[in-house]
Amino acid sequence: MGYALEARGLEKSFRGKRAVDGVDLVVRAGERVALLGANGAGKTTTLLMLLGVVTPDAGTIEVLGHPLPAERSEAMTGVGFSAGYLPLPDRMRVIEVLRVFGDLYGVPDPLTAAQEGLERFRIAHLAREMASELSSGQRTLVGIVKASMHHPPLLVLDEPTASLDPDVAARARRGLEEICDEYGSAVLVTSHNMTEVERICDRVVFISHGKVVANGTSVEVAEQFGQPNLEEVFLHLAAEDWE
């Protein structure tokens, strides 16, 4: 099985302080991996390097076989990225936003793909709504549809359900699982919801003080730290990061 994403020896410093210190991270084709860590642990900087937004001081990154930053444009054509904090064009209707992004992704029939995505996440009724009229949770779901409508080999999701009510978050999880099962998409997800991570991810990677401190299944990682579940592992490492 090949890699959807492979990063080795990533390092990044800001103002003389090492934020990421020798991180290795791989996501195999079709695998669902969670990148976890408390605020300040180096998780966000790592994610930005993996997307080619921030250039590492050292280390190598390949996304779908393309090295970053040299072939970032080619790599990103096969990546779907969604985060609750990303804005949508306020003066466009939802279906228009999705059509535009479908065109950018090279989707042959963007209107049909948009409608199918809205139906998959049970938000077809939002198609004619202005983006400015959406709630934060609705914006998040539309963002996930936008990121997945071209059936990318790799989905990168930054806190995808942070602003969602539990029932809507469950709907989002089901939709993502359908995409992975149907199209074989790999997923790299960040989240502070450890229950959600345990439900949808094959493997978890914890970062603390800029280093990978755990890499394995939820059960393996919990056992490594002598904790009953990922929630307790997260709390344990978060306490260390604040020390």
The C-alpha angle 21, 22, 26, rounded to 5 degrees, equals: 125
The C-alpha angle 195, 163, 31, rounded to 5 degrees, equals: 45
Question: Residue 213's pLDDT is what?
Answer: 95
State the average pLDDT over residues 196-206.
92
Rounded mean pLDDT of the chain? Answer: 92
**Cα–Cα distance, 9 to 56 (Å, whole number):** 10
State the average pLDDT over residues 101-117.
94
- Is the peptide bond prior to 69 cis by the omega test (within 30 degrees of 0)? yes
Model pLDDT for residues 44-66, shown as the tens digit of each residue: 999 999 999 999 999 999 999 99
CATH of the domain at 33: 3.40.50.300
Q: Would you state the structure tokens that stand for residue 81, as one six-digit string?
A: 């990225």
| Backbone dihedral region for residue 200 (phi beyond 0: left; psi -120 to 50: alpha; all else: beta) | alpha
Beta bridge pairs of residue 20: 12
**Cα–Cα distance, 242 to 215 (Å, whole number):** 21
Question: Residue 141's pLDDT is what?
Answer: 93
State the average pLDDT over residues 109-132.
95
| Backbone dihedral region for residue 9 (phi beyond 0: left; psi -120 to 50: alpha; all else: beta) | left
Model pLDDT for residues 163-198, shown as the tens digit of each residue: 788 888 888 889 999 999 999 999 999 988 888 898
Question: Which stretches within 149-201 are classed as H helix?
Answer: 166-183, 194-200
Q: Of residues 238 and 107, which shows the higher confidence score?
A: 107
Query: Could you tell me the pTM of the whole model?
Result: 0.93
Structural domain total, the chain: 1
Model confidence at 137, in pLDDT bands (50, 70, 90)?
confident
Question: Residue 193's pLDDT is what?
Answer: 87
Domain of 192, in residue numbers: 3-241
